[in-house]
Structure 1
Amino acid sequence: MGSQDKNILNWASKDGEFRRQQSVFRDWIENKPDAKFPAEKDRYHLYVSYACPWAHRALIVRKLKGLEDFLPYTSVHWHMGEKGWRFATKEDNDAPGDNVTPDPVHADYTHLRHIYFENNPDYEGRFTVPTLYDKKQRCIVSNESSEIIRMLYHSFDHLLPEKYAKLDLLPEDLKSKIEETNEWTYHDINNGVYKSGFATTEEAYTKNVKTLFASLDKAEAELAQSPGPYYHGDRVTEADVRLFTTIVRFDAVYVQHFKCNIRDIRSGYPNIHKWLRYCYWKNPAFGETTEFTHIKNHYTKSHKQINPHSITPVGPEPNILPLEEEVPAVKAALQSK
């Protein structure tokens, strides 16, 4: 089977466990005149999917750092078929949100895979988002979300107004705490929902879903101790960005689609729920980059092995509660105290 015909929709290994593929493109944008990829306005293009939590990280950081005029982006359509992510067409009317358009950089490219094959005709990995592309050299800089967001923290600071340049999402005084949080939230929560949902044996599913909820319990306890409103206090940090993109999808998709249903966020985790709503409603970088139509349709209509009839559940309603609102059971519990 040729690399351009490989089946990219097989998610689980032979033992029933989901294992995330390592990113291949790992270069870096730097504020150096002799850099291979120097920080320049409008030189790079960011390809994302509103559905994807890993790509969502990059959109949040782009907005937090005020990079809207420096780094344009395009979101693919929410549907992933056998050829991977496709770009929206002018005829598509089911994919709301900014910049859900045909590829503005390559007029004849219909799928994200074409960008990968432009970079390497023999590429055999997955065609993932976010993908950071250099329009000048016509090549991929990076497709590793954790590194893309970090290069956006300071690489463009010399071009930004002071209020954005001074925003530090990985401050030195919190770096060790953030790194520690990242380690277990990545393995057990960010990736844990996928390890639960794509498991193909009862044993793999049970093991991973229990680990997921044990770590949600840990996050709940840590947020109960945080002075807030963010995970590590009064400053938004990388820890908030990385956790938010999974938690905002949890009730809307992961509870039912990935069988992560021991508890939901809105009724089972009051401190996580409070933190989630603060990020969403009070910080535009979080709320304005969240597109629930893409999120719900992608998972339920792209994963045929999980949902063969592509039926998208109506609930939960609403996808996220207002800032001060609670579900009836929580309201009743609070009133009885």
Structure 2
Amino acid sequence: MAYVNPSGEFRRDQRYISTRITADGRDGYPVEPGRYRLIVSRACPWANRAIIVRRLLGLEDVLSMGVAGPTHDERSWTFDLDPDGRDPVLGIERLQQAFFARQPGYDKGITVPAIVDVPTGQVVTNDFAQITLDLSLEWTKYHREGAPRLYPEHLRDEIDRINDAVFTDVNNGVYRAGFAGTQGAYEQAYQRLFARLDALSDLLSTRRYLAGDTITEADVRLFTTLVRFDPVYHGHFKCNRRKLSEMPVLWAYARDLFQTPGFGDTIDFVHIKQHYYLVHTDINPTRIVPAGPDTSVWLTEHGREELGGRPFGDGTPPPPPKPGERVAAGHGAAA
């Protein structure tokens, strides 16, 4: 849920269900293989983070994943990708049902990602920022051999600083521009967005990843916005100073990540475009979905190896996605 204040500024409702799933179960929800189901949409950048982190850490066999369709109505995300329109594990047609099972009459955002307790059918949390951190820190017993350290203790202060700035000016900044209700609010968001992208370009001109020479949580969070920039945010949200493909450092950085196992193989460009252009009828009343841009450019050489670095640190790349979790043919980058 979100709103535009009297000054025309977009405000995101960040009142999430903050219950945590932890190794010691202090909130009443201990980490247990098979007990929980991660609900996502491949269209959503916030959910895309959880998809990537789950893949990188190798949690597919202990935390199942349900994928909602790319569009939703005012009530909630729906499971229209499943044959009978129901999630095969939870047996529900709408994510809303899991929220109402936990809190009848729940009046805040029905958002993805959300983690649902399978035995009770109740949502545990939809706190997207904490979900990925907890997958890294609380689910360690079930990480695959060779899983990367995405939130290492010695880098947490730096990662947190980067994440705070990126969220405010970039992740949420594109929405602040796209949904602005006045010219002034739009231009303020636009200027902050591109000032931050310029600063990130400077940072990434001398280091391969945001927090040094290995992939961290910070890279996951920036990537899911960058990969949507040219297909959606540049035109749909009027973030049009330059396309990502016209920002050399960020474009090379984004392609480097896209071509890294666990990143690009989670991206569904068809779902991404369908979501934004079909759902946001106030911005796109015709509901016409653009045919472009060409996605084959995501597979071109990026040259970032020259900066050194070890993508997974002392770890290893994740194996290919499981057959039931692969992006549909023709929905990813075209070779």
TM-score by length of 2: 0.85
Corresponding residue number in structure 2 for 1:257: 236
Corresponding residue number in structure 1 for 2:251: 273
Q: Gaps (5+ residues) in structure 1?
A: 1-7, 93-100, 327-337
Note the C-alpha offset of 1:102.
2.7
Q: Is the 8 A contact 1:252 1:315 kept in 2?
A: yes
Matched, 1:309 2:289: no
Q: Give the 3-state SS of the residue equivalent to 1:47 in structure 2.
A: strand
Matched, 1:106 2:90: yes
Q: d(CA) in 2 for partners of 1:57 and 1:190?
A: 12
Q: d(CA) in 2 for partners of 1:106 and 1:160?
A: 24
Note the C-alpha offset of 1:90.
4.9
Q: Is the 8 A contact 1:87 1:111 kept in 2?
A: yes
Q: Which of 226, 231, 251 in structure 2 is aligned with 1:247? A: 226
Q: Give the 3-state SS of the residue equivalent to 2:230 in structure 1.
A: helix
Note the C-alpha offset of 1:126.
1.1
Q: Gaps (5+ residues) in structure 2?
A: 304-335
Matched, 1:65 2:57: yes
Q: Give the 3-state SS of the residue equivalent to 1:68 in structure 2.
A: coil
Letter of the structure 1 residue corresponding to residue 116 of structure 2? Y
Q: Is the 8 A contact 2:166 2:222 kept in 1?
A: yes
Corresponding residue number in structure 1 for 2:201: 220
Q: Is the 8 A contact 1:251 1:319 kept in 2?
A: no
Q: Give the 3-state SS of the residue equivalent to 1:45 in structure 2.
A: strand
Q: For residues 200 and 275 of structure 1, do their structure 2 counterparts lie closer, same or farther at Cα, with a shift above 3 Å needed?
A: same
Matched, 1:121 2:110: no
Q: For residues 316 and 271 of structure 1, do their structure 2 counterparts lie closer, same or farther at Cα, with a shift above 3 Å needed?
A: same
Q: Give the 3-state SS of the residue equivalent to 2:146 in structure 1.
A: helix
Q: Is the 8 A contact 1:31 1:156 kept in 2?
A: yes
Q: How does 1:1-337 map to 2 (within 5 A)?
A: 11-32=3-24, 36-90=28-82, 102-107=86-91, 109-164=92-147, 167-226=148-207, 228=208, 230-267=209-246, 269-281=247-259, 283-318=260-295, 320-324=297-301
Note the C-alpha offset of 1:74.
1.0
Q: For residues 234 and 325 of structure 1, do their structure 2 counterparts lie closer, same or farther at Cα, with a shift above 3 Å needed?
A: closer
Q: Give the 3-state SS of the residue equivalent to 1:133 in structure 2.
A: strand
Q: Is the 8 A contact 1:194 1:258 kept in 2?
A: yes
Letter of the structure 2 residue corresponding to residue 160 of structure 1? H
Q: Is the 8 A contact 2:67 2:81 kept in 1?
A: no
Q: For residues 89 and 289 of structure 1, do their structure 2 counterparts lie closer, same or farther at Cα, with a shift above 3 Å needed?
A: closer
Note the C-alpha offset of 1:284.
1.7
Note the C-alpha offset of 1:168.
1.5
Q: d(CA) in 1 for partners of 2:26 and 2:74?
A: 40
TM-score by length of 1: 0.85
Number of residue pairs aligned between Structure 1 and Structure 2: 303
Q: Give the 3-state SS of the residue equivalent to 1:195 in structure 2.
A: helix
Runs of 4+ in 1 over 6 A off after TM superposition: none
Identical-pair percentage: 40
Note the C-alpha offset of 1:138.
3.3
Q: For residues 91 and 222 of structure 1, do their structure 2 counterparts lie closer, same or farther at Cα, with a shift above 3 Å needed?
A: same
Q: d(CA) in 2 for partners of 1:21 and 1:14?
A: 16
Q: d(CA) in 2 for partners of 1:119 and 1:219?
A: 40
Note the C-alpha offset of 1:35.
5.9
Q: d(CA) in 1 for partners of 2:63 and 2:121?
A: 15
Q: d(CA) in 2 for partners of 1:58 and 1:204?
A: 30
Q: For residues 15 and 141 of structure 1, do their structure 2 counterparts lie closer, same or farther at Cα, with a shift above 3 Å needed?
A: same
Q: Is the 8 A contact 2:277 2:284 kept in 1?
A: yes
Letter of the structure 1 residue corresponding to residue 255 of structure 2? R
Q: d(CA) in 2 for partners of 1:136 and 1:176?
A: 37
